[in-house]
């Protein structure tokens, strides 16, 4: 073997080892990666089924005018088929090309229950009005619900099932003892509501998932095929790589851009982190800090417009406002979140004296700008959705076509028939966990609506809060973080919208509906980096080879804006551009940015020099004052921050002159 061949073989082996390490981390922290291993002809068959599902969803979304009891049960039935084909009963090493007999039975019975509804939709529509449901149909409904619950356990995890299980038990208790129906009638009532009517599994989350989310997931799969993730990372390197702590800033920028499309905090942490975390460590950042930066930034990708991990489409449906309205109002809070991380990264680099990457080792902006056409599918999507002339599904479908066209101009990631097939299959595969979680979120919402539990939850929080908005927000925040732990972005928001948002929008609390939904969404998302179940932070620590809990606490510190900003826009909706004018918007933008910088300086203990504990406490307090709505608080905050900055600047110059 020649020296060139040996070098090439070594490079390939090193790349394969790196990919294997990434896959191992994904399998450990991301349930979506724990799939069956199919090879050869069985793989072709399974992936053809996945691709066919994607085509089916696109066709139904664009052209079909089916009854709800045909469209949504057929969607869930297909999800159960591809779900059980892909997800084994537990983690661990699986036999290649093997699916146990009991999984075949569960798949057939579970999907068959939903397809039964499809086949008898007209008849059931008439009979459901009088509760004329046959006994075997109740049995089919129970089988369908249990099959979906089991798939969710495999693809998503146990936490969401604990929540849904508690609500199901409460619903049974409600019908048995409050309504005095007896167990058999209670089970019948609950099964009809959760399985056959559009008040349970087939309610808003699954409807939005079937109509919009899956199509956008498929769009994301095609967008990935254009090579846009690598373009984002290279562009971030070109922009920020040479500055102090450049690799960490690259991680922040690239993760924000990649994360808004990926829809997975853990997935984004691992994929972009496999590149950025080693770079940060080589520059001189501690492993805990490197892993935390990637985790915090990747989690923030879920709040980054215009995609927002697909939750923006659900929010538009829940709040009944145009999608374009959601993404415009999400801009300023997202900017503040990432400015907070960026400031902490910059100050940490200055504090420990780190430099950036040499300009000679960075990609040239002039070269990268020639690939700006890779952004065309995103720009087209935003334009089509914002114009309001087309449905979101049509916009996503046309953007998929744009991805194919754009890829033809990128010689490094050109779309071939094989890649086209893989993109369809990957889109179908990525839809499984989201759809399963949306179905379970529908069960939770159904139990709440059927039992009137929402009003009791609202009353409980109001009594605890005693009329205080802040206390109500605080307890709602705790609920969101607990309920969001270990749950995917889309399902997290579904649960929060059903359980927590109504608390804040009640007349006694009075938070505007859009601000309330943004509030619960933010705190559901930051659960991914909040100890003790901080999956994104743990994934980052696995790549960084750092202490998991230390990484999680550091990520929480870096993402401090994610814990503060929601209170700001809940108490002062001007940040979301609600009921405001240009002057107020300018004031909010300036004071909020200064406040976030002050918070970052206090957290890092550095501004123009090291800050002692007294100054850190004072500047954090000043930052919070700037984030609290009010002219006098803004003035006080600005004065304190300016005084500390001036003192630091004078001391820094004096030290330099003395040296």
Residue 238 lies in a domain: no
Q: Is the peptide bond before 259 cis (omega within 30 degrees of 0)?
A: no
Q: Quick one: pLDDT at residue 373?
A: 87
Q: Quick one: pLDDT at residue 16?
A: 46
Sequence-distant (6+) residues with CB within 8 A of 445 are 200, 203, 204, 205, 494, 498
Query: Among the residues of 466-512, which ranges form H helices?
Result: 469-484, 489-499, 501-505
Q: Alpha-carbon distance 656 to 385, whole Å?
A: 55
Query: How many domains are there within the chain?
Result: 1
Contact 198, 72 (CB under 8 A): yes
Q: Alpha-carbon distance 376 to 600, whole Å?
A: 35
* Beta-ladder partners of 606: 610
> Which DSSP symbol is given to 610?
B
Q: Alpha-carbon distance 115 to 112, whole Å?
A: 5
Residue 609 lies in a domain: yes
Nearest residue to 31 via CA among 143, 119, 156, 152 = 156
Contact 518, 569 (CB under 8 A): yes
Buried b / exposed e along 370-409 (16+ C-beta atoms within 10 A): ebeebbbbbebbbebbbeeeebbbebbbebbebbbebbee
Contact 188, 121 (CB under 8 A): no
Token reading at 501: 């948002």
Token reading at 218: 């498929």
Rounding to the nearest 10 degrees, give the CA dihedral for residues 295, 298, 304, 307: -150
Buried b / exposed e along 433-456 (16+ C-beta atoms within 10 A): bbbbbbbbbbbbbbbbebbebbee
Q: Alpha-carbon distance 360 to 354, whole Å?
A: 18
Contact 592, 332 (CB under 8 A): yes
Q: Alpha-carbon distance 483 to 69, whole Å?
A: 30
> Which DSSP symbol is given to 453?
H
Q: Quick one: pLDDT at residue 11?
A: 42
* pLDDT under 70: residue ranges of the chain: 1-33, 92-93, 259-263, 309-310, 388-390, 655-659
Q: Alpha-carbon distance 606 to 598, whole Å?
A: 10
Nearest residue to 490 via CA among 436, 552, 539 = 436
**Cα first-last separation, the chain:** 60
Contact 487, 160 (CB under 8 A): yes
Q: Quick one: pLDDT at residue 9?
A: 46
Q: Quick one: pLDDT at residue 12?
A: 42
Residue 650 lies in a domain: yes
Contact 290, 248 (CB under 8 A): yes
Sequence-distant (6+) residues with CB within 8 A of 655 are 609
State the residue for tokens 């399974």: 46
Q: Quick one: pLDDT at residue 261?
A: 67
Q: Quick one: pLDDT at residue 31?
A: 57
Sequence-distant (6+) residues with CB within 8 A of 637 are 591, 594, 595, 598, 622, 623, 624, 625, 626
Residue 193 lies in a domain: no
State the residue for tokens 């993404």: 327
Residue 612 lies in a domain: yes
Structural domain for 622, as ranges: 586-659
Q: Quick one: pLDDT at residue 24?
A: 59
Q: Alpha-carbon distance 232 to 79, whole Å?
A: 32
Q: Alpha-carbon distance 608 to 652, whole Å?
A: 7
Residue 656 lies in a domain: yes
Residue 624 lies in a domain: yes
Nearest residue to 603 via CA among 616, 587, 588 = 616
Q: How far is residue 174 CA from its own chain's centroid?
A: 33
Contact 295, 536 (CB under 8 A): yes
Residue 53 lies in a domain: no
């Amino acid at each position: 073997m020649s020296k060139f061949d040996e070098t090439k073989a070594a490079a390939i082996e090193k790349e394969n080892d790196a990919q294997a390490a990434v896959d191992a981390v994904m399998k450990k922290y991301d349930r979506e990666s724990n799939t069956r291993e199919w090879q050869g002809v069985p793989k072709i068959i399974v992936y053809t089924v996945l691709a066919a599902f994607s085509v089916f969803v696109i066709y139904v979304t664009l052209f079909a005018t089916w009854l709800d009891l045909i469209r949504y049960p057929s969607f869930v039935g297909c999800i159960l088929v591809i779900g059980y084909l892909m997800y084994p009963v537990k983690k661990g090493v699986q036999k290649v090309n093997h699916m146990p007999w009991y999984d075949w039975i569960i798949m057939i019975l579970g999907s068959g229950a939903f397809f039964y509804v499809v086949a008898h939709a007209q008849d059931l529509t008439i009979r459901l009005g009088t509760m004329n449901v046959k006994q075997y149909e109740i049995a089919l409904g129970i089988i369908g619900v249990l099959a979906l619950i089991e798939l969710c356990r495999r693809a998503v995890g146990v936490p969401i099932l604990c929540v849904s299980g508690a609500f199901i038990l409460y619903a049974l208790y409600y019908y048995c003892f409050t309504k005095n129906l007896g167990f058999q009638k209670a089970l019948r009532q609950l099964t009809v509501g959760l399985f056959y009517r559009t008040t349970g599994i087939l309610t808003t989350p699954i409807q939005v998932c079937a109509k919009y989310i899956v199509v956008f997931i498929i769009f994301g799969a095609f967008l990935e095929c254009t090579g846009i993730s690598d373009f984002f990372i290279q562009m971030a390197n070109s922009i920020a790589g040479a500055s102090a702590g450049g690799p960490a800033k690259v991680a922040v920028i690239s993760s924000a851009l990649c994360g808004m499309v990926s829809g997975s905090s853990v997935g984004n942490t691992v994929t972009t982190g496999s590149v950025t975390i080693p770079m940060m460590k080589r520059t001189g950042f501690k492993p805990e800090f490197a892993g935390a930066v990637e985790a915090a930034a990747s989690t923030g990708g879920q709040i980054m417009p215009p995609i927002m991990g697909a939750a923006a489409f659900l929010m538009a449906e829940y709040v009944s406002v145009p999608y374009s309205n959601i993404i415009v109002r999400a801009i300023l809070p997202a900017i503040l979140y990432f400015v907070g991380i960026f400031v902490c990264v910059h100050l940490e680099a200055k504090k420990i004296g780190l430099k950036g990457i040499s300009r000679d080792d960075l990609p040239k902006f002039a070269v990268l700008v020639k690939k700006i056409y890779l952004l065309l599918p995103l720009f087209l999507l935003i334009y089509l959705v914002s114009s309001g002339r087309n449905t979101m599904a049509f916009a996503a479908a046309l953007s998929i076509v744009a991805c194919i066209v754009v890829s033809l101009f990128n010689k490094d990631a050109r779309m071939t028939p094989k890649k086209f097939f893989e993109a369809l299959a990957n889109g179908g595969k990525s839809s499984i966990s989201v759809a399963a979680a949306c179905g379970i979120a529908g069960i939770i919402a159904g139990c709440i609506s059927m039992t009137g539990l929402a009003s009791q939850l609202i009353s409980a929080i109001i009594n605890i809060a005693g009329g205080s908005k802040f206390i109500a927000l605080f307890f709602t925040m705790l609920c969101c973080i607990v309920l969001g732990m270990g749950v995917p972005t889309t399902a997290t928001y579904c649960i929060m919208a059903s359980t927590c948002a109504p608390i804040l929008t009640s007349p006694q609390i009075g938070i505007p509906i859009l601000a309330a939904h943004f509030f619960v969404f933010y705190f559901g998302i930051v659960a991914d980096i909040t100890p003790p179940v901080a999956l994104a932070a743990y994934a980052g620590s696995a790549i960084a080879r750092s202490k998991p809990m230390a990484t999680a606490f550091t990520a929480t510190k870096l993402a401090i804006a994610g814990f503060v900003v929601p209170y700001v826009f809940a108490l002062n909706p001007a940040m979301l551009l609600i009921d405001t004018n240009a002057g107020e918007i300018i004031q909010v933008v300036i004071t909020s940015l200064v406040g976030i910088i002050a918070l970052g300086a206090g957290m890092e203990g550095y501004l123009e020099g090291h800050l002692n504990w007294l100054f850190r406490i004072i500047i954090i307090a000043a930052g919070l004052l700037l984030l609290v709505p009010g002219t006098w608080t803004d003035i006080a905050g600005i004065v304190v921050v300016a005084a500390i900055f001036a003192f630091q600047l004078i001391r820094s110059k004096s030290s330099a002159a003395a040296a």
